[in-house]
Amino acid sequence: MRKPSVTVRVPATTSNIGPGFDTLGIALKLHNQISIRETDDLTVARVDPMSNSPKASAITREVVDAFFRRSKVKAHGAQIEVKGDVPVSAGLGSSVTVRLGIAYALNELYGRPLADAALLELVTELEQHPDNAAPALFGGFVVTGVIDGAVRYRRFNVPPSLKFVVCVPDFPVSTEKARSLLPRQVPLSDAVENIRRVALITSIFATGDFALLRGLFDDKLHQPYRKKLIPMLDDVVAAGIEAGALAGWLSGSGSSIVCLTEQKEKAVAEAMANVFAHQKIRCESHVLIADNDGTRVKRS
């Protein structure tokens, strides 16, 4: 008898959004697909181009073990297939698409023993912060944080009039390496500057006055330190804004750079790509809109 299976689609995310370090995230219409089929034995087999790497195997096993431990469902073996369009180590939440996709698919496969809040807690524990996990699960623009040990969030739909121009340069950035560059302490004035910008950005996404976003995305907490790994960051953002964008930022810990615009998205993409071209760096450009649906079961 054919064993039960389920396939889910998980969106990419762009996080931090300039000053919103580990707090702000947006789901994007660029997806990975995770399929899980129950097997007779207790082994876990993953099939995708990265499946043979030690890190991919460790992530897979870690998620499966965490799901069965939290859900108290009897452990089963699984065949897991990962495929899609979200680039790896590019600051677009590829690790979240896998972690969340596996947990979500297992939850569907076994009758949803975990509520959405529990799924978010599980993936946040594995990711160590929720700014990718929450938008990938719920879609839209999300402000989130771990408060007194629990993940709290608020989400808002993002209209299709907002375009996210994503430039993915032809080099990866390790999240661990990018985090290692961050200082343990920052000046009080820098922290206050980021707080006020995050508050304004959140209020604007809540109310829809997007023209007011101009000038709000400068950051003092992480981008200045991570420019050692992506030294063309400021020039790429400046080129996008000059071509018509409202704002730009380093996506996650990089290497992708995002510019937000309501107009001239092709010109913005070309201007951003030209900066990389002048540095003899290839980049792939995407013009995307937000994904307001989040993770969903793919129906056959």
Task: Summarize pLDDT for 80-130 with one digit per residue, the tens.
Answer: 999 999 998 899 999 999 999 999 999 999 999 999 999 999 999 999 999
| More confident site: 291 or 41 | 291
pLDDT score of 161:
97
Q: In this predicted model, what pLDDT tens digit does every residue of 123-147 receive, in sequence order?
A: 999 999 999 999 999 999 999 999 9
pLDDT confidence tier of residue 239, bands split at 50, 70 and 90: very high
CA distance 144 to 166: 23
What's the rounded mean pLDDT across residues 173-198? Answer: 93
Q: In the numeric block, which tokens belong to residue 209?
A: 């006055």
pTM for the predicted model, two decimal places = 0.94
Band the pLDDT of 51: cuts 50, 70, 90: low
CATH architecture of 5-156+291-297: 2-Layer Sandwich (3.30)
Per-residue tokens: 172: 């990866």
Neighbours of 2 (CB within 10 A): 6
Q: Residue 42 above 80 pLDDT?
A: no
Exposed (0-12), middle (13-18) or buried (19+): which is 74, by Cβ within 10 Å? Answer: exposed
pLDDT at residue number 2: 52
3-state secondary structure of 249: strand
User: How far is 109 from 172, CA to CA, in rounded Å?
Assistant: 34
Residue spans of the domains in the chain: they are 5-156+291-297, 163-288
Contact between residue 234 and residue 217 where contact means Cβ atoms under 8 Å apart:
no
pLDDT, tens digit, 9 for 90 and up, residues 272-294: 999 999 999 999 999 999 999 99
CATH for 163-288, options being 2.40.10.10, 3.30.200.20, 3.30.70.890, 3.40.220.10 = 3.30.70.890
C-alpha 250/C-alpha 227 separation (Å) is 9
Report the pLDDT value the prediction gives residue 1, as an integer from 0 to 100.
46
**Can you tell me the distance from the alpha carbon of 204 to that of 212, in angstroms, rounded to the nearest whole number?**
7
Q: What is the mean pLDDT of residues 13-39?
A: 95
Query: What residues contact residue 34 under an 8 Å CB cut-off, 6+ apart?
Result: 7, 8, 10, 80, 81, 82, 97, 98, 101, 102, 104, 105
Q: Which residue has the tokens 């990419």?
A: 12
